[in-house]
Amino acid sequence: RAILKATRKEALALVDLFPAAERETRPVRGDWTLKEAIGRLTDWELLITDGLRQLLLGETPRFADPIADFAAHDAAKIAARRSQSWAQVWRDFQAARRTFDDLFQKYPELFLNHKLTTPWGKEMPAYFWLTILFGQDYDLANDLRQTLNLSG
């Protein structure tokens, strides 16, 4: 929980430093703009939340879309959001974060030991499922630091 909180705080602080006029045009990772990176993060947040919600309800998590190729999965999600404005992507991101946070507040530590099978077919404890989120935030923070020429 502490790592998740810290990585989120860092990523959001760096988003605030990013020039608003460049959020839809300036690449931050490869050719992804900040808008696209945030949209991707939102989609992963929704996926992680879905798995945790199912576990908390005592269900075996099932996912509608298998992921055979991470790059293709991300590219499809980014393409689906391309026509959205920064404001819409940001609202979706904030809503996904609130949904996750509300769920995670109710999540007993014991449930983090429960296992689920990911959309790419790997079995893992819910704790490791969560590492995807703070890993994504950590990567975004690194990308933003490099793009903004910040050290740290």
Question: For residue 32, what are the contacts with CB-CB under 8 A and spacing of at least 6?
Answer: 40, 78
**13/152 Cα distance (integer angstroms):** 13
Question: For residue 75, what are the contacts with CB-CB under 8 A and spacing of at least 6?
Answer: none
Q: What confidence score (pLDDT) does residue 109 get?
A: 82
- Going from the first residue of the chain to its last (152 residues), give the mean pLDDT of each consecutive group of 10, the final group possibly shorter: 90 96 95 96 95 89 90 93 95 96 86 89 91 93 95 66
Q: 117-135 pLDDT, tens per residue? A: 999 999 999 989 889 999 9
Q: What confidence score (pLDDT) does residue 149 get?
A: 94
Which amino acid type is present at position 40? Answer: R
DSSP codes joined into one string, 68-127: S-HHHHHHHHHHHHTTS-HHHHHHHHHHHHHHHHHHHHT--GGGGG-EEE-TTS-EEEHH
Q: How is residue 27 written in tokens?
A: 């690449």
**40/81 Cα distance (integer angstroms):** 9
Q: What confidence score (pLDDT) does residue 152 get?
A: 58
Q: What confidence score (pLDDT) does residue 56 get?
A: 86
User: Are 12 and 144 contacting, i.e. CB atoms less than 8 angstroms apart?
Assistant: no
Q: What confidence score (pLDDT) does residue 68 get?
A: 93
Which of helix, strand or coil describes residue 29?
A: strand
